[in-house]
Amino acid sequence: MSAPPWLRYLRKWLLSVGVVGLLAAGLLGGTAGTSAAAGSLPCDIYAAAGTPCVAAHSTTRALFSAYDGPLYQVTRASDNTTTDIGLLATGGYANAAAQDTFCANTTCRITKIYDQTSRHNDLNPGPAGTSGMGADRGADAAELSVTAGGHKVYGIWISPGVGYRSNGAASGTATNGQAEGAYMVASGTHVGSACCFDYGNAESTPADTGNGHMDAVSIATTCYFSPCTGNGPWVEADMENGMFQGDNGSNTANAGNNTPFVTAVLKNNGQTTYAIKGGNSQSGNLSTWWNGALPTRGGYTPMHQEGGIILGTGGDNSNWNMGTFFEGVMVAGYPTDAAENAVQANIVSVGYTGETNIPNGPQGTITGPGGQCVDVAADDTGVDGAAVQLWNCQTYAEDQHWTHNSDNSLSTIGRCLDIDGNGTANGTKVELWDCNGVGGQKWVQQSDGSLLNPQSGRCLDSPSGATANGTLLQIYDCNGSAAQKFTLNPPVS
């Protein structure tokens, strides 16, 4: 297939400034290449090296210097309206202010992640798969903000049940043993050991169709093949039915990376060889943790990729894990080390900063009787009707972090604290529901620390003053009891 006109023009321009020559010489790697790489974005660099991007996804920035389209779509909970979030400038950073304005006084979910290539390999919340999990939900759009290029941007906070997938096999992705490469910028602090926080090539349908039918990069604390070095998280290759750290799975040379921002890199020639690399996205070079033969376990030599794209889940829609995604690409062909080094230098030049292990401020905990935190019954569940209870306070549990919105609603993981059926009777359960500004979601903090619901005139309560884990929260007459005292940290102004 001949290259499209824009790609031929890009290659001609890159040749004119000598970028291809620099890549071939390996001069864009490391410190020496930082300033040179900063002028070209990751997909420009890969194209110049002969391994063009076939998918490019990010909620933080453009990955082509000429890209001026949308990055992602958000859907507002209050009226189910959608809008696209684009760039501040061509080839620049996300316009987070547009999201803040659109989602003010309600919550939004990320319901589409646009592919920046001309192939339109967009990602949407995935369907149910053979893992037994239901369909995926979109991430809370405001769950985590960081800084990139000096601008506020939002990452994709993956919780259990959140995930994205292409519609069947994507365009241009590797199939049946073709060579490919991928990278993602993720978090080394918001991680878990369950299956699977992946980005890359997967089955065309959400079903485990056997060894070698996936080729996705992952970062997790999953020691699938022991022994492993340290506690992770490790950059790994999910090639279906195995999270490989190198070799046949176990690879004690893979030391892992727990920095706030991690560049996770995987490449596979589809026939004999694969490589795993990783690095700090804020500084330094990539470390090569494996560069050698594909696993000799049955089915991986050659590979049998199907060309689907996943983000935040496994190939069969195993969506039990957590992670944070900022940007990533998939390329056709086996990338050179020089190209990968140049991409890492460009990522470092972005200057990603911010906390990636807790949900986005100004969220705080709501601490109730016995020093327990207001929590969702099943951790990280964002479904309507999920009960709200008291549990031990944990800083990493996103469903214990709450935003007190300007309309006096209290929201977490994309849902608002609400009265079951907007009831007003004593003993009415308190649950999570879509934020829609109704009276049952309004709470006013009183001077004695109680949380009053203006619609009913009743207070959030822990029945019988109970403080045990799992105590169901209800609404009762305000009587100044200790069971109705809640501390918002930070307090509501």
Token pair 């996943």 in the structure block, residue: 310
Pairing relation of β-strands 72-76 and 428-433? unpaired
Catalytic residue (choose from 316, 340, 398, 434) = 316
Write the CB contacts of 192 (distance below 8 Å, at least 6 apart in sequence).
Answer: 220, 221, 320, 321, 322, 323
Catalytic residue (choose from 115, 180, 236, 240) = 240
CA atoms within 13 A on the CB side of 411: 30
By CB atoms closer than 10 A (0-12, 13-18, 19+), residue 2 is exposed
Neighbour-count burial for 362-389, b at 16+ CB within 10 Å, e otherwise: ebbbbbbbbebbbbbbebbbbbeebbbb
Phi, psi at 146, each rounded to 5°: -135, -175
d(CA 232, CA 241): 20
Asked if 380 is an active-site residue, the reply is no
- Please report the beta strands in 149-223, taking only residues with DSSP state E, as ranges in sequence order: 151-154, 156-158, 164-165, 180-186, 198-202, 215-220
Asked if 316 is an active-site residue, the reply is yes
Category of 149 on φ-ψ map: left (φ > 0), alpha (ψ -120 to 50) or beta: left
- Please report the beta strands in 102-253, taking only residues with DSSP state E, as ranges in sequence order: 108-113, 124-125, 145-148, 151-154, 156-158, 164-165, 180-186, 198-202, 215-220, 234-238, 243-244
Contact call for residues 71 and 58 (beta carbons, < 8 A): yes
Contact call for residues 388 and 413 (beta carbons, < 8 A): no
Which residues, in sequence order, are bridge partners of residue 183?
A: 265, 329
Run of H or E including 9: helix 5-16
Which residues form the catalytic set? 240, 316
